[in-house]
Amino acid sequence: MKKWLIQHPEFLENNLYIGGGSYSGIPVPMVIQHLSDNREGGGSPPLNLKLRGYVLGNPITDSHIDRNARIPFAHGFALISDRLYQSAKANCNGDYVNAEAISRQCELNVQKMEELLRHKNSEHILEPNCPYIQLPRGENSTLQRSLMENPTDFLSRLGETLYHCSEMLLLSEIWANDRDVRAALHLREGTKGPWKRCNRTALAFTKVVNSTVAYHRNLSMTGLRALIYRVAASYVGTQQWINSLNLTLDDDWRAWYTDGQWTSFWWYTESYINGDFALTHATVKGAGHVPPTYKTKQCYAMAKRWFAYYQL
């Protein structure tokens, strides 16, 4: 990013926000703290970054909190019975991650719950459990041509599984690997292979940071702004680590809407402050792990209002 700004100094006058989603909940707060501690950006000459805040969607934040929160979330959606949940809650003392070390009965309870959750769609529990689609070699150009020649009939010709399950994922891969798109993004020929939405096999890195709560706590001492948004149903873990920051409640839990009250009920938001620091926590009803994929209009409205310093 520093290299890019040095090469494009005309953007240095813009306010800088950094965002990410999912696993970016680990590196983004670390990057933000580094930039906040070094506002000049380490460039020569100094960059004098106008860092204003950060945005995180469904962020992974703390491995223990995030994993533990899956159980009350699943119970709230009736994916596990109340009887099993209450038994696990009592036997595990609310810790479902270290079940084996707690007791044999806790371990049995957790094993039973994991079995019940094994076949759910982890990205959107209300959607079918779809496999990740990877196009055969050479198939991408054929599908691109088909899409351009007959866009109306394109999705229906993919077959029932793709049409009802993963059309958005497939289209994103076709788009991102289009030659014109890659050229517009200034990807140098031969430097990058085909783009994959979730590259689960070729990421050679070692996880050394299991929690970024401490980074959020440090950032809450700055004058930055933060927007944390996620699926309405899976807010449990996020609420827990936000509460641990000991911020002052500025705007209590309330609904927010798009297109009027009756079309967009059950999206909620709350805001916290700590001096000049401000954090907005928002939920998006009916979305999956990547909310803009499922609720594009609503997420756009949320971001637009927040960047403009409006209430959601």
Residues 35-71 have pLDDT tens digits of 888 764 454 556 788 999 999 999 999 999 999 998 9
pLDDT per residue over 78-126, tens digit each?
889 999 999 999 999 999 999 999 999 999 999 999 998 887 776 777 7
Question: Where residue 205 falls among pLDDT bands split at 50, 70, 90?
Answer: confident
| Nearby residues of 77 by Cβ (< 8 Å), 6 or more positions away | 125, 233
The string over 226-244, giving b where at least 16 C-beta atoms fall within 10 Å of a residue's C-beta and e elsewhere, is bbbbbbbbbbbbbbbbbee
Per-residue pLDDT at 306 exceeds 90: yes
Distance between CA atoms of 165 and 176, rounded to whole angstroms? Answer: 19
pLDDT, average across residues 23-36: 92
Residue whose token pair is 């990547």: 290
- This prediction's pTM: 0.81
- Alpha helices (H) along the chain: 2-7, 27-37, 63-76, 82-92, 99-102, 104-117, 139-149, 151-154, 160-165, 167-176, 179-184, 213-219, 236-243, 291-294, 296-307
